[in-house]
Homo-oligomer: A and B are copies of this chain.
């Protein structure tokens, strides 16, 4: 019966073909003229039939094809036309009435209740002129970062997303099912701004495992490092305040500081971390609110600050009574040498160090969970600010992460990450030395190396040419406070296999040599 049939009922024409194909409902407004073919209803598998009928009629009503007080066809008519049970149509009509789109008059029929509004309105605001300064800064920094849009398959030395081999999907599934059976609907309900208590307790113990004295301190769970850092800045800085950081430094942190309209004071780093003399000078000269440091696998240079240096830096900050914001970023990704305690551990019972942690680079960045460990008084305010940002971090995610950690999966993941990245790291170093004309290469492990070219050329130009040849990386200038050092680049091997590392680096080398 694969032909069209046209029927006329109560002032309507219905053109239809067999069930599960397409049914066009045509409304007749004057007797002779088909006014408008106003929509198509094709039943899809999966969704209940009454819901599909309801949605379709709703669309007609909202779209103005059915106006207020118009009568819908009777349930008997529509059901026979659509070749569905009368009950389905009845249910659809009842739900439309429940939702306030139609009213049902007993033994008379269903009438449209909703008043269609004229959508011919066209009030145009020029949003470009209405953007805040922060919006402009954010737009601009995003633009600089994304000079090259990923429109084709490339060898990607830009990303820091973990290798897909590292994602333990089965473990997460197990954790989800366990936590759902333990916590039930609680994980779907509102929680506390501070976070999920068992996770907080777990992280406190984890922090003690790093040698940090957690007494008098507390933890707030955040949506990753990014939010944690933003909340800390909102809690202790005013617009125009000065903040100190390593130069170069983590570009997202730089973006956040600039968006908070802070005066960013960058202090140059040496092979083993920030220059302590220059640090002292900077702290003396400026009225610094806080210092932001990435002691392990520093982003972008990849260097690990040795213990003595950490102690020295800690003492310098202490001397000037300036708090430290420590970014615990991928601290876990060490491949050799002794484990070095974070600065927060060196500070012992003191409350001058705020530690921000995250497992994003090791476990799963898609679940945005990080944490801030800080003094209890400060925590009250961090919590209030967090609450006003987004009430709290997804409870479900926190609970899944907790259950996942509880089952001892972190160690397994770290082990897997180290195995994969360590090999890539050594090979990347080797290939960089072999193929790219460099002045300096830094990086003690982690997920990337940082390279200064021997030539004074702009890496954005190198990037543009590399992109043509299917390779991308991060130009180094975006990590510098002043946006200088154009002949530097960060090369991440987090998601590139050995073969592509060699291929990609040799292309970069060729491009550099030919400029």
Which residues of A are in contact with B by a Cβ distance under 8 Å? 46-48, 51, 54-55, 58-59, 62-63, 95, 98-101, 103, 113-125, 127-128, 130-136, 138-139, 141-142, 159, 161-162, 164, 167, 169, 172-173, 176-177, 180, 184-191, 208-211, 213, 222-224, 226-227, 230, 234-239, 252, 255-256, 259, 289, 307, 311, 314, 318, 321, 323, 334, 336-341, 345-352, 363-368, 375, 377-378, 380-381, 384-385, 387-397, 400, 406-408, 411, 415, 418
Contacts and interface: CB of A to CB of B under 8 A. Distances in A.
A223 B397 CA distance: 13
A289 B164 CA distance: 45
A367 B100 CA distance: 28
B396 A209 contact: no
Closest 6 CB pairs between A and B? A119-B348, A100-B339, A123-B350, A138-B384, A167-B185, A188-B364
Contact of A230 (B127, B363, B389, B418): B389
B210 A188 contact: no
Contact of A368 (B131, B323, B366, B394): B394
A381 B131 CA distance: 8
Given A115-B338, A209-B55, A349 B122 contact: yes
Contacts of A46: 406-408
A142 B415 CA distance: 43
A349 B235 contact: no
29 contacts: A46-B407, A51-B408, A95-B411, A100-B339, A115-B341, A120-B348, A121-B346, A121-B348, A121-B349, A122-B349, A123-B350, A123-B351, A123-B352, A130-B323, A131-B235, A135-B234, A135-B385, A141-B384, A173-B176, A173-B180, A188-B366, A189-B364, A189-B365, A222-B390, A223-B390, A226-B391, A394-B394, A394-B397, A396-B396
A210 B119 CA distance: 12
Given A62-B210, A135-B381, A256 B388 contact: yes
Nearest to A317: B123
A161 B387 CA distance: 16
Given A115-B307, A346-B121, A128 B377 contact: yes
B142 A169 contact: no
A141 B351 CA distance: 26
Nearest to A55: B209
A146 to B, nearest CB: 10
Contacts of A124: 350-352
B127 A348 contact: no
B191 A366 contact: yes
Contact of A341 (B117, B130, B400): B117
Contacts of A116: 211
B388 A135 contact: no
A370 to B, nearest CB: 9
Nearest to A369: B394
A406 B485 CA distance: 49
Nearest to A411: B51
A396 B116 CA distance: 37
Contacts of A133: 238
Contact of A138 (B54, B340, B385): B385
Given A188-B364, A190-B161, A338-B115, A138 B236 contact: no
A388 to B, nearest CB: 5
A223 B307 CA distance: 39
A234 B393 CA distance: 20
A429 B122 CA distance: 41
A338 B114 contact: yes
Given A119-B345, A138-B385, 15 more contacts: A48-B408, A100-B338, A117-B311, A123-B318, A127-B236, A127-B378, A132-B238, A135-B381, A169-B185, A223-B393, A223-B394, A226-B389, A227-B389, A396-B397, A397-B397
A189 B209 contact: no
Contacts of A238: 132-133
Contacts of A63: 211
Nearest to A170: B180
Given A113-B339, A139-B380, A367 B188 contact: yes
A351 B119 CA distance: 12
A169 B188 CA distance: 8
Contacts of A337: 100
Contacts of A117: 211, 307, 311, 341, 345-346, 348
A245 B407 CA distance: 49
Contacts of A128: 377
With most chain B CB atoms within 10 A of its CB, the pick from A54, A210, A223, A400 is A223
A381 to B, nearest CB: 4
